[in-house]
Each structure stands twice: as structure tokens, then as C-alpha cells.
Structure 1
Amino acid sequence: MKPNFAMGLASLQIPHGAMVKRMHIYTGNNLQETRAPAMPLACFLGNIFAECVDVLRDRAGPLGLKLRLLTAGAGPGVMADAKVRSLERSIYFGDSCQDVLGALGSPHKVFYKSEDKMKIHSPSPHKQVPSKCNDYFFNYFTLGVDILFDSTTHLVKKFVLHTNFPGHYNFNIYHRCDFKIPLVIKKGADSQTEDCILTTYSKWDQIQELLGHPMEKPVVLHRSSSANNTNPFGSTFCFGLQRMIFEIFSTPL
């Protein structure tokens, strides 16, 4: 009798000197169709996570975000009966701090800007007047979203959606924001249109094919922490297209 626990492996023909270069661990029969398993209840710990984020748009550009949120009960005696609950919240440009707090709850952190490097993408950068106060972000780490408020009006003026790709300066600080950006693209001289969607996994080449190539030079970001002036992850490029800014790795993965 021969042992049969290695019957499948014994039939493999491995060339001499072969080395493992990559390994995939997944469920199902097709690697391309696999999905990450649902988050266990024990990992919620009272936090709210974003299952998906849809960018709301009109013909002029983005209007805001519609977030599908997941939450579960926490605390003594609650975990045994806890269930994951889904809810939807929408936030828009021009919403107040109170509107955002009512929709998403308190942020994990509030960050005050020291400068605005993205003024180069403003329609009239020469008209920008230095403010006596600093704009500030609400950082929602478990949603993968930052929300920028104007220091004077305290209204929403920018949304930042984090993809959490390895090699980025903020990698593993934010949960990945699974966003979808709907686009209506004109095709041909007869003004026919085609509906397209940009996602967290869209490539820069694909985005340029849909939105066109940027007319202005990119803003180069050299991030560094206060304790270390050297950024081991390298710089990134920021391009402005159709009232959106895309941050691109200087060295593609």
C-alpha cells in the first residue's frame, strides 16, 4: 500500500532549479472572480466601515459621495447577538461640519493643513488670497476617506479617497476605499456617449484614455514625517482632470 495523501503533488513535473516567484491563496475555482471574505464581527470593535463609495456626479463634475456603511454592535453582552447592519449615507460639497458629523459620526482624527500644494490646479491660482486660518480635514481611517473643510465657512470643499496600495506613504493607515466614479464619455463625431466607471483598481493609462491627457504639469508630492525628512516610498504625481485630482505613483507597481 502506498500513501495517497500526496497523490496530486507527486504527479507534478517540476524542472530542476525551478524557484517559486509568486503564490496566490484564495477560495473558489477562479482567481479572477474571488472576493475577500466578510469581516468577522469581532473585528468591528464599534467602528463603521465602508463597503463601497459611489461618487455622485452631474454633467459639470462631482457633487458628493454616497457611502454604504457596515456596522455591528459592540460592548459587554452585545457581541453574542450582534449582526452586521448596512446603512447608506450621502454627503455633498457645501455640507457643514454638523451635516458630516450627523451622517458619519466623529472622525478618527482632525488634521489642520499648513499649506495647499494643490492651488496649481485651481481655476485662478493667482487670485488665491492667503488665509489667516488653516483648512482642516476630518480623517475617517476605517472608511478610507478624508473630508476637507474651508477654514472660514466650515463647509466641505474636497473629498480624498484612499486606495491603500502598497508602496504609498499612507499604506496601511487607511482601509481601502472601494469607490466607483461614473463617467459619460463622448464617442465619435456624432456625439454618441458611453457610460464608464472608474474604480479603485483603474490604471492611469485607462483614466487618460477616458478623460484625456492633462494639459498642465503635475504637482509632485514629497511627503515626509516631522521626525524623518526622508520618505522611503518616493514621490507621487498629482494630475487634475475634470475637477478631480488623481495621485499617481512615480514608479508604477
Structure 2
Amino acid sequence: MYSLLNVDIRPGSGLGIFEIGDSLWAILDKLRSLQHMFPQVDVKYDPDSSAVTPVVVHIRPHLDLLFSGKGQRLHTICVHQLRDPNPPVILRYDDAIISSTDEVLRRVVVNRTFGPTYPGDDLRYPGLWFSFEDDSISEGIKGPQGVDRDQEVKRVFISQKGNDGKAGDALDEVAECAAMDGDAHQAIIKIHDGIVLNFFGSSKPLHIRLRETTAQDLTLDLGPPSKVHYKEDQRMTIHSSKQADDIDDRGYFYNYFQHGIDFLISDTTHVVKKIVLHTNIPGAPLFQQYKRCCWEIEGSPEDDEDDTPPRKRFHDRFETISHFLSPHGTPPSMILNRTDDEDDLTLPSPSTRLYGYDGIILEVTESSQVVCVMVF
């Protein structure tokens, strides 16, 4: 049973509970908690390059949400099938109903409500536009130019002001906005040292150092973790060259799902001993457990005066990052299947490969996308 969709239009800002600039992780988490309102949700993506290409969340039957490829931020909202009564959809603007099963949204209503705009096939306003093309009409095929004041609106789009739906806009990243405040927008990985986090809405970076930053420091700087998980999986210790005392220090994880980062903390010293940064790639076993962390691996500067050391980023292909970390060859890999402990989970490509380098491990999909980075 679908619920009535009764939403307000906010040009350039959002629609109902959806805010332009929200993360894919936050929106899908919200939809999961509202299954009674949105029971059927489809996530569509390009499996070969989902780290860099847009993601579309289709909420049947009325909504399509387009997320930017790299930032995974809500870019454009499309409302369609306005006359479909299963369920009915009501659109409001400034507390007035402009579309419902009883009120057909027509060109004259748009003109009366939003005022004059430039001529064209659609009616376009800053952060909002109205299309008279039906969903079944293919992109790029235009019907006769409509000048009929009673012409019926078929689709409504909400996006940031400046993203007006023209060619190329759908591939643009979302500009910084209020919905992003407090989120980490960049994590610079310094091998053998730690990470530097930069946040939206703040000019002050946060440096988290391996074997120095404590659990208390994390709580003070990032707030309480979403979850504290005590490390029980010791299968990787068979490959370790560390002393027995170090291996016995199993530690515990501070999970910050909202930042896409885990911190492994020592049982004995309570300092950070490993950092895991997640790319949140659709189709991967860990998809949607973590928000995308936009990490960058920093290399050594060319000289003492070089203030822009080279970096490789989360959306670079594995081969590029591997050559950056090890120019003389790719190290041997180990196969990891994260669905081994999940009897009811089936994925098209459940296996990933682990590649170990000096101070860093990459987890890589079959399509050469880096799922996560472990710094130790």
C-alpha cells in the first residue's frame, strides 16, 4: 500500500523531506526508515564505473533522485506521473496546492504562480523547471512547441540554482550548501602518519595521527561514534609479522558511518592503530553501510619547497593508484568474499582483492575500483 505523497516545492533547495546536497547514504538511510511511505526503491548505476558516474534512485511511482557521480550528493529531483492516483501526489508551493488529482497543473497555473520566464520548450526558473513532455518521450525528441495556456505539465524538476537541466548539468557536482555543513568533504591520507580531514562549513582541518590520537580525542573532535565494535575477526593475523603481544591486542573499532571512516583503537593504549576509509561503491558488499569518504593518498613532495605533493584520489582506477604506490610492480593479492558470513546475501560480484603496500592496503573490485583503503 502506497501512501499519499504530499510535498512542498522549494526551488533550488528541495522537495518534501529531500534536500538538494544531501548524501546518497543519508537519503537511502532515510528511505529505509520510511518503508511504509516508500515501499519500492530502485538504485540504478553503471557497474563498471560507479565511483565516478551519477546514481539514480527511483522511488516508485513518482520520484527520481539524481546523485552526482563523485560526491554522491543529491543533484536533481524529478516528480512525474502527476495524474497517477496510485498513490495520489499533491504538490504545494507557499502553502498553496498547485497540483493534485483534482487540480491539474497547467502552463497557465505555472505562469500565474511563478511569474514570467524566458521562452522555450519548458518553463524554467532558478532552481526549478516544468516540462510538458511525457515520461515515454525519449530524451532529445521534442514535440511541437506548446503555446497553449492549458498545456498540462508532465514533469517537475528541482535542482540547485544554476543547474537548469541543460546539457552537461547532470554530470556537474553539487555546489557547497547548507545540507553539507559538518560533513567531511576530503580525507588526505598521509602514509605512516594518519589522515587530515576537511569539513564543509569549517576552515579548520582535523589531523588524526596513527599511534598518537586517542579514543577520547576522536570523541571530542568527531563526537561519539555511531557504533563501537570489538574486533573479533583475527583471520588476517596469520599474515602478520608483528610480535605476539601486538597480535593479542585485538582492539576495538570506532565506526563513524556518517563520515565513511572506521578507527581501530588499541585495547591497551587506546590510541588509533588503523584507519579504514570507505568509498561506498554501489554493488559492492559494503555499499550503503558507510557514507562515501572522498579520500586522497598523498605522495612525497619532489623537494622541500613543493607545497603541492602529488595525490591519487578515490575515483582513480586501481592500476593508477597501484603504480603511484609501487612503481616497480603490483604486489600479490588475496581474495576476500565479504558475503561468506551472510547466508542470505547474494551479489553479482561478491569477491574483492586485497593488495598490501608499505603502510597501506587497498580493497579492489573486479572492475578495478577501490572499495576502501586501510592505513596502518
- For 1:222 and 1:132, the matched residues in 2 are separated by 25
Q: CA offsets, 1:21-51, max 9 Å, x none?
A: xxxx97665469721244554x87xxx4111
Q: Structure 2 matches for 1:35-74, cutoff 5 A?
A: 35-38=173-176, 40-41=178-179, 48-56=182-190, 61-70=191-200
Deviations 1:57-88 (A, max 9, x none): xxxx3311111123xxxxxxxxxxxxx55542
Q: 1:36 to 1:89 in 2, by over 3 A?
A: same
Q: Is the CA contact (8 Å cut-off) linking 1:214 and 1:241 kept in structure 2?
A: no
- For residues 248 and 357 of structure 2, what CA distance do their matches in structure 1 show? 29
Residue 37 of structure 2 corresponds to: none
Query: How far is 1:52 from its partner?
Result: 1.1
Distance 1:235 1:252 in 2: 12
| Correspondence 1:158-197 to 2 at 5 A | 158-184=274-300, 195-197=309-311
Q: How many residues align?
A: 206
- Amino acid in structure 2 at the alignment position of 1:221: L
Consecutive unaligned residues of structure 1, counting only runs of 5 or more, are: 12-24, 71-83, 187-193
Give TM-score scaled by structure 2 length: 0.47
| Aligned twin of 2:234 | 116
Match of 1:104 in 2: 222
Aligned-pair distance for 1:176?
0.8
Which residue in 1 is equivalent to 2:338? 223
Contact 2:226-2:256 at 8 Å conserved across structures: yes
Contact 1:28 1:34 in 2 (8 A): no
Give how far 1:219 is off: 2.6
Secondary structure (helix, strand or coil) at the match of 2:324 reads helix
**Which blocks of at least 5 consecutive residues in structure 2 are unaligned?**
1-119, 122-132, 134-139, 144-158, 303-307, 370-376
Q: Report how far residue 208 of structure 1 moved.
A: 2.4
Aligned-residue CA RMSD (Å): 3.4
Give the match's secondary structure for 2:205: strand
| Distance in 1 (alpha carbons) for counterparts of 2:170 and 2:301 | 27
Q: Contact 1:198 / 1:207 at 8 angstroms: preserved in 2? A: yes
Deviation at 1:103, TM superposition (A): 1.6
Between the aligned partners of 1:10 and 1:250, the Cα distance in structure 2 is 40
**Are residue 152 (structure 1) and residue 256 (structure 2) matched?**
no
1:211: how far off? 2.4
TM-score (norm 1): 0.67
